[in-house]
Amino acid sequence: MLRSMYSGISGMSNFQKKLDVIGNNISNVNTYGFKKGRTTFKDVWSQQITGAAPRQVFKGGVNPKQAGLGVQLSAINNIHTQGSLQTTGRALDLSISGEGFFMVGKGENGTITDKKYTRSGNFYLDQNGHVVNSDGDYLIKAVPNPANPLTAILYIPVTIPPTAQNVSIGKDGTIGYTDQNGNNVVEGVIPLAKFSNPEGLEKSGSNAFVETANSGEPIYSWPGEDGTGTIVSGALEMSNVDLSEELTEMITAQRGFQANTRIISTSDEIMQEIANLRKF
């Protein structure tokens, strides 16, 4: 009975974690660039009652007898499937069709700190003409390094002058505009970061991810090259949460939670009957 109680407790605890993940998915169903989470379970160590026995001359083999001790959390995965694109018609609303992440960060003079990676492309201009997200992090572009223009690349914030007109961002990440003299100017290229294991990235809030020991280091490429996607200007990527799927998973988790509470209450009733044997 004690084993069944502890199994029920482990089931309740882990189904609660599953409901936490589902609740977070549902609450972010309209969050741009959000990637849903998925909970998986695995069984706990099983107690050996009797071991397996080999076949004998006049007797067949015997399978082991084990009693499981419940369930434990196996993983909470980030699912990086493509979300649908919503057209906005705004030049600084950017989305990625395919793999890759925008790089955002803080810093200046070619030194970028606090690097983060995001699929949320709702960017704005600050008072200095820098392209930033809602947290004030700069959108990073790549330009040739003046000290070594043939081989080195410098990563700096995207800046668009207040006098710029007809701002456009191509699918290859090229940033262009028309200056006050009517000349076409190329501001730079927005690179995309790709990871060998994007599911190993850590969510840091504000629709951003940070590099971890298991994600691999970022590999920067021009959009459309080396397996990265292309940039779509005037559109935003919606959350990849499927509301009907999440509601179904919520019902499943709720029923699983209820079943585990029933295990505990049934075990308690049996133990009470055993404790009351002396009264008969």
Q: What is the pLDDT of residues 52-101, one digit of tens each?
A: 888 888 888 888 888 878 888 999 999 999 999 999 999 999 999 999 99
HSE-CB for 80 with a 13 A CA cutoff: 24
Nearest to 230 by CA among 96, 139, 117: 96
Between CA 228 and CA 220 the distance in angstroms is: 9
- Give tens-digit pLDDT for 214-249: 999 999 999 999 889 999 999 999 999 999 999 999
Q: Is the pLDDT of residue 150 over 70?
A: no
A 10 A CB-CB count for 100 gives: 28
Q: How confident is the model over 260-278, as pLDDT tens digits?
A: 999 888 888 888 888 887 6
Of 144-148, 164-168, 176-180, 250-254, highest mean pLDDT: 250-254
Is the confidence at residue 110, as pLDDT, over 70? no
What's residue 239's pLDDT? 95
**Using CA atoms, how far apart are residues 172 and 189, in angstroms rounded to an integer?**
8
Q: What is the pLDDT of residues 8-54, one digit of tens each?
A: 888 999 999 999 999 999 999 999 999 999 999 988 877 788 888 88
SS3 200: helix
What's the confidence (pLDDT) of residue 173?
A: 92
Region 154-163: what's the mean pLDDT? 86
Residue type present at position 95 = S
Distances (CA, A) of 7 to 65, 186, 268: 17, 63, 13
Question: Longest Cα pair distance anywhere in the chain, in angstroms?
Answer: 102
Residue 7 in this model has a pLDDT that exceeds 80? yes
Q: Number of H helices and number of E strands within the chain? A: 2, 21
The token pair that represents 245 in the structure block:
């799927």
- Strand-pair partners of 18: none
pLDDT at 243: 94
Question: What is the average pLDDT value for the chain, to the nearest integer?
Answer: 88
Rounded-to-integer distance, Cα 177 and Cα 184, Å = 6
Whether 204 has a pLDDT exceeding 80, the answer reads yes
- List the structure tokens of 135: 């947290």
In the predicted structure, residue 280 carries a pLDDT above the cut 80: no
pLDDT computed for residue 279 by the predictor: 61
Distance of CA 80 to the CA centre of its chain: 6
The predicted structure's pLDDT at residue 146: 64
Contact 160, 131 (CB under 8 A): yes
Q: If pLDDT is split at 50, 70 and 90, which confidence band does 151 have? A: low
The share of the chain scoring above pLDDT 90, in percent, equals 54
Q: What is the dihedral of CA 221, 90, 162, 171, to 10 degrees?
A: 20
| CA separation, residue 122 to residues 33, 156, 207 (Å) | 9, 19, 11
Of the chain, the end-to-end C-alpha distance in Å amounts to 21
For residue 243, report the phi and psi dihedrals to the nearest 5 degrees.
-60, -40
Do 28 and 241 meet the contact criterion of CB atoms below 8 Å apart?
yes
